[in-house]
Amino acid sequence: MSTDAGYNFAYLDESTKRMIRRALLKAVAIPGHQVPFGSREMPLPYGWGTGGIQVTAAVLGPRDVLKVIDQGSDDTTNAVSIRAFFRRTAGIATTERTAEATIIQTRHRIPERKLTEGQILVYQVPIPEPLARLEPRIAETRRLHAMADYGLMHVKLYEDIAKHGHIATSYSYPVMVNERYLMSPSPIPAFDNPKMHMMPALQLFGAGREKRIYAVPPYTHVRSLDFEDHPFRPIRAPHACELCGSRDTYLDEVLVDDKGGRIFVCSDTDHCQERQAMKEAAE
């Protein structure tokens, strides 16, 4: 595959990559803590994965195999665009197979297949601050993190139950990392939260517009906030995948006509195809 000769490997210059790696090292050393970094202006728009792209560019090597997903799928427009960006600027191999990838950049999902020690999961993060909707001032939220003063977040969950009878947060569900830092898991569905706990793969989070990096090192404790008598429960549509029959994966709802007809299919397209292939082989 061709690389764009006008740019350094993976677009960013080496000193910028070093700056990002320093931030990543700090982030890994303090799991869940948001590290400010000198986010660069990327040739893709803010809010479209500039943080994830910079993190990927900083950790990418020529022998890496990259997978990019958006909403669990390799074939959504933004995933296609980011994969093409790295093919063009780094000339690295890309894949749609979760098992084959060394780096997986994702927006809004964690793959269904269990990730391994050799893999890095890079999350695109729009709003890194889990307290942002409760306290918009960054200077104040930084103080709350420093003091581990998270009563406010629990008040939000309390209010959910008081109003709705259960915790009504279904994505970007806040987690406590290593029992110290409150962290936003990025807008993944709450269904994916348990996968973060003790994950063998390294999890890196990049927020380009907000200029923050954070991380969850391998085998780190990640707990979704809840109450003893209102425990955290991952939500999924109570159906089976139309294509592979799975009953334990996260499903997308697809409207098939304008009369209320709908089917449910796996959001993780690679996982679904793998299951379909296995089913066929068995038949």
Partner 1 sequence: MYVATKGGEKAIGAAHAWLDEVRRGDPAQPELTTTQVEQQLGLAVDRVMAEGSCHDRGLAALAVKQSRGDLIEAAFLLRAYRTTLPRFGASLPLDTNAMAIQRRISATYKDLPGGQVLGPTFDYTHRLLDFRLAAEGGLPAGAPQGEPDPSPTPRVTELLAQDGLMQREAPEESEPGDLTRQPLSFPADRPLRLQALARGDEGFLLSLGYSTQRGYGGNHPFVGEIRMGEIAVEFVPEELGFAVDLGDITITECQMVNQFKGSRTEPPQFTRGYGLVFGHGERKAMSMALVDRALRSPELGEGSEAPAQQQEFVLSHCDNVEATGFVEHLKLPHYVDFQSELENVRTMRAAAMKERGE
Partner 2 sequence: MSTPLMEARGLQLRFGRVAALDDVAIDIHPGEVVAIVGESGSGKTTLLRVLSGLMRPDAGAVTYRGEDVLAMPEAARRRLMRTEWGFVHQNPRDGLRLGVTAGGNIGERLMAVGARHYGNIRAEATEWLKRVEIDPARMDDIPGKFSGGMQQRLQIARVLVTRPKLVFMDEPTGGLDVSVQARLLDLIRALVADLGLAVLIVTHDIAAARLLAHRILVMRQGQVVEEGLTDRVLDDPQHAYTQLLVSSVLAA
Instruction: Identify what 4 binds: partner 2, partner 1, none; CB under 5 to 8 Å per kind.
Output: none
Pick the catalytic residue from 49, 118, 244, 261: 244
7: left (phi over 0), alpha (psi -120 to 50) or beta: beta
165 binds partner 1 (CB under 8 A): yes
163 binds partner 2 (CB under 8 A): yes
245 binds partner 1 (CB under 8 A): no
276 binds partner 1 (CB under 8 A): no
42, 208 Cβ separation under 8 angstroms: yes
Q: Could you confirm whether 266 is annotated as catalytic?
A: yes
Nearer residue to partner 1 within complex by CB, 181 or 250: 250
* Distance in Å, CB of 195 to partner 2, minimum: 23
Q: Could you confirm whether 241 is annotated as catalytic?
A: yes
Nearer residue to partner 1 within complex by CB, 116 or 170: 170
Nearest-angstrom CA–CA distance, 180 and 51: 24
The span of 55-63, 125-133, 156-164, 257-265 binding partner 2 (CB under 8 A) equals 156-164
Count interface residues toward partner 1 (CB under 8 A).
Answer: 66
Q: Which residues are the active-site residues?
A: 32, 241, 244, 266, 272
**Which residues would be at the binding site for partner 1 (CB under 8 A)?**
7, 13, 36-43, 45-48, 50, 70-73, 75-81, 84, 107-109, 126, 136-139, 164-166, 168, 170-172, 187-191, 209, 211-212, 235-237, 242-243, 250-254, 256, 263, 265, 267, 269, 272
**Which residues would be at the binding site for partner 2 (CB under 8 A)?**
143, 146-152, 154-155, 158-159, 161-163, 226-230
